[in-house]
Amino acid sequence: MSDELRLGIVLSFSKGNASVKKAEHIEVDVTGDSYISAVQEIGTSEEVLVEPDALGTPGYVYVRNMDATNYVEVGITASYTIKLLAGDFALFPAAAAIYAKANTAACNVEYIIIEL
């Protein structure tokens, strides 16, 4: 079977005379059939988002900072390339362990990791 995973974004901006709308999606073939969905408390020290042993190669990751005040940094193999402000979310491809750390105080982070 093909195109088992559908990922998309919708962007809409309008202020004064400036406006733009964009919607994109991709369909991805997935060989595995595992995923994990959880909420994890992330402290101010580097942590790996927990992945079950049954999950093979991480394919795509959705992560959302559930904190109302503090930000969380997220990245692959301890290289923090994503900064999630309070309430922010991100969707990105990942082929290795996903790391996170909170800035000032521990934050709850919701995540979904889908195996490719």
Residue 50 confidence (pLDDT):
78
Nearest to 90 by CA among 55, 47, 60, 46: 60
Q: Where are the domains of the chain?
A: 30-115
pLDDT tens string, the chain, 116 residues long: the values are 678 999 999 999 999 999 999 999 999 999 888 899 999 999 999 999 877 676 878 889 999 999 999 999 999 876 889 999 999 999 999 877 889 999 999 999 999 999 88
Total-model pTM: 0.89
The pLDDT, as a whole number, for residue 37 is 94
Q: What is the pLDDT of residue 103?
A: 94
In this predicted structure, what is the pLDDT of residue 61?
93
Q: 30-115: what CATH class?
A: mainly beta
Instruction: Say what the pLDDT of residue 33 is.
Output: 87
Provide the pLDDT for residue 29: 92
Instruction: Return the pLDDT at 90.
Output: 96
